[in-house]
Amino acid sequence: MQEYIVFGVLIFALGFFIWGKFRYDLVAMTCLLALVLAGITPVEEAFYGFAHPAVITVAVILIVSAGLQNSGLIDLIGKWVMQLGDNLTLQIAVLCLIVSIASAFMNNVGALAVMMPVALHLAKKNGNSPSSLLMPIAFASLLGGMITLIGTPPNIIIASFRKKEIGEAFSMFEFAPVGIGVTLIGLLFIIAIGWRWIPKRISGDKKEDNYFDIEDYITEIIIEEDSKLAGESLLKIHEMSEGDIQVLNVVRSGYLMHAPDMNMVLRSGDIISLESDGDDLKDLLEKSQCRLLGSKKGDVEDKAIGSEEISIVEAVVMADAPISNQTAASLSMRNRFGVNLLAVSRQEKKIRKRLDHVKFKVGDVLLLQGNAEKINESLLSMGCLPLADRGFSIGKPKRIVVALAIFLSSIGLIISDVLPVQISFTLAALAMVLTKTLDLKELYQKVDWPVIVLLGAMLPLGTALEETGGANTIANFLLKVGSSLPAEGSLFLFFVTTMLLSNVINNAATAVLMAPIAVNIANGLNVSTDPFLMAIAVAASAAFLTPIGHQSNTLVMGPGGYAFKDYLRMGLPISILITIASIALILFFWPL
């Protein structure tokens, strides 16, 4: 009965992971509590997963990655990349190589995020479609993570699982022989052929500098003496119009008031900046008897005192952003972050109607208006990445040297077996803070808490799957399916199963679930468990088929204007290529 309950919980988890309606950390915690209430996971062991070395390692690596980014090292590389010529193949090659190397030593999404604005700038500068650049660097971030122990959570999980099973974990660079080979093969395909198969969803016309034509989103009206709005509050605008009109700013006596209080009483001569479409605006003008200013851009507002302090930016919603799955209304975006939401772009669709009720999704591109000095801070709080031309802050060489010294020292301690990875990188994170390479207030902001909760909650499910015999049941099923195949065939079947699973659920969850199954299959075949564990490490990161398999894929979906099916165009051939290459490399370096 316990095995049936575990399978029921597992099916529930997989179903909700694939559905994506609820965040995966919430689903994982629900599964953990179900196991505890069913008496399968002891109450006193319910939260042991959060003390697991793999969970601690993932958290501190994210902090160290942020320290490297803050040091100015990545910006220094970005400034150099900006000087590349107009050869698109060369741009893709250099960007992919940098992202893959960075991803081997820092968070995949972090490595991608710092190079995305660079890629967008290069695309705009040379009149190329950003679609041709963004998917290649997203895939490169996945490939690079396969190279080292700290490259991606699945590697850390598999290394910890191996230590539990045979008493010795995979070391820092034991993933490298297979990881480097797979990465090089994947990059060669992307650079030589793959990018040419990606549809150009967004125009590369140099004249089309923005995802949005800003003039189409901002209109200005002036309150006349006989206007029905004179003497009324700003709320009256919403009462008069049945459409979706957003008040952005008010100019009074030459002074601009950004994001004004809606109870503000209007006077004759006030100029109001509105976000509205043509039909709603026409309806408002007729009912209010206001006059439309001659220039949509705002010849009066441009001269208003304070107008130079207001800027408009485009930003993409990052993975696990605080605003994800929430609306502007539920967030009180104007009051909380000090920005006006003008428009949302999702998979090349421009959303302007009922903006307050649009639930933000990862990869959405937002058009925002706010105070020029504070908008970057607002974007950071919202979990959004600005897509404007990147002005690189190189920082002091001393910070780069200190950050590199801390990072390389921690790697040295791990390689020399002086300290385990979780202790070494915890010391590195502490050193980053003490040397002011990373601000103390950023320490907790840089941890991807949903992933930490996911891991802490899923590890007991993996243990329950193993202890109740569920892992053995699944392993026997896979062995039966591949009964006519040699051991190499079973490894191939296991690899493909893991890779397909990683395309629909989180890669860390995939590793947790497949690890005990790998051991049971290896024991059933009477072969080494190492090839099967290494297969999980590679296959769990090979999520190239869908935009939901990995956060990197999701992140580029909006800025690249990709449709769901676009990922198959380059993702399917690279998945086939990597499967063949991985099996050959695993069998060579980790024989059965």
Name the DSSP class of 359: P
pLDDT of residue 384 exceeding 80, the answer is yes
pLDDT for the residue 29: 94
pLDDT for the residue 492: 95
pLDDT for the residue 308: 63
pLDDT for the residue 517: 92
Q: CA-CA distance, 226 to 205, in Å (whole number)?
A: 45
Q: Residue 510 corresponds to which tokens in the numbers above?
A: 């995939």
pLDDT of residue 134 exceeding 90, the answer is yes
CB 200 within 8 A of CB 304: no
Q: Phi then psi for 340, rounded to 5 degrees? A: -100, 135
pLDDT for the residue 395: 45
Residue 83's pLDDT band (boundaries 50, 70, 90)? confident
Alpha helices by DSSP H, 275-370: 278-288, 328-331, 333-337
pLDDT for the residue 304: 59
Per-residue pLDDT tens digits for 244-285: 777 888 888 878 887 788 888 988 888 888 877 666 777 888
pLDDT for the residue 96: 96
> How does DSSP assign 201-247, residue by residue?
-S---TT--SSS-GGGT-EEEE--TT-TTTTSBTHHHHHH-SS--EE
pLDDT for the residue 298: 45
Nearest Cα neighbor of 406 from 52, 59, 63, 55 is 63
- Name the 3-class secondary structure at 272: strand
Residues 66-71 have a mean pLDDT of 80
pLDDT of residue 423 exceeding 90, the answer is yes
pLDDT of residue 394 exceeding 50, the answer is no
Residue 388's pLDDT band (boundaries 50, 70, 90)? low
Residues ≥6 apart with Cβ < 8 Å to 124: 130, 206, 209, 389
pLDDT for the residue 224: 86
pLDDT of residue 162 exceeding 90, the answer is yes
CB 566 within 8 A of CB 135: yes
- Name the 3-class secondary structure at 314: strand
388 burial level (CB within 10 Å; 0-12, 13-18, 19+):
middle
pLDDT for the residue 397: 55
Residues 340-361 have a mean pLDDT of 73
CB 139 within 8 A of CB 182: no
Share of the chain above pLDDT 90, in %: 32
Residue 217's pLDDT band (boundaries 50, 70, 90)? low
CB 297 within 8 A of CB 327: no
- Which one is predicted more confidently, 315 or 114? 315
- Which one is predicted more confidently, 354 or 550? 550
pLDDT for the residue 216: 55
Residue 236's pLDDT band (boundaries 50, 70, 90)? confident
Per-residue pLDDT tens digits for 39-63: 999 999 889 989 888 889 888 988 8
pLDDT of residue 207 exceeding 60, the answer is no
C-alpha angle with apex 7: 5 to 12, nearest 5 degrees? 95
Share of the chain above pLDDT 70, in %: 90
CB 292 within 8 A of CB 219: yes
Per-residue pLDDT tens digits for 489-534: 999 999 999 999 999 888 888 999 999 999 999 999 999 999 999 9
Q: CA-CA distance, 547 to 551, in Å (whole number)?
A: 8
Tally: H helices and E strands in the chain: 23, 10
C-alpha angle with apex 547: 58 to 544, nearest 5 degrees? 80
pLDDT for the residue 574: 96
Per-residue pLDDT tens digits for 396-409: 456 788 888 999 99
Q: Taken in order 520, 524, 526, 527, is the CA torsion positive or negative? A: negative
Residue 352's pLDDT band (boundaries 50, 70, 90)? low
Residues 166-187 have a mean pLDDT of 94
pLDDT for the residue 300: 46
**Summary mean pLDDT of the chain:** 84
Q: CA-CA distance, 101 to 180, in Å (whole number)?
A: 10
Residue 370's pLDDT band (boundaries 50, 70, 90)? confident
pLDDT of residue 433 exceeding 80, the answer is yes
CB 578 within 8 A of CB 492: no
Output the pTM of the full model: 0.79
Return the exposure string of 260-279: e unless at least 16 CB atoms fall within 10 Å of the residue's CB, then b. Answer: beeeeebeeebbbbbbbeee
Residues 161-175 have a mean pLDDT of 90
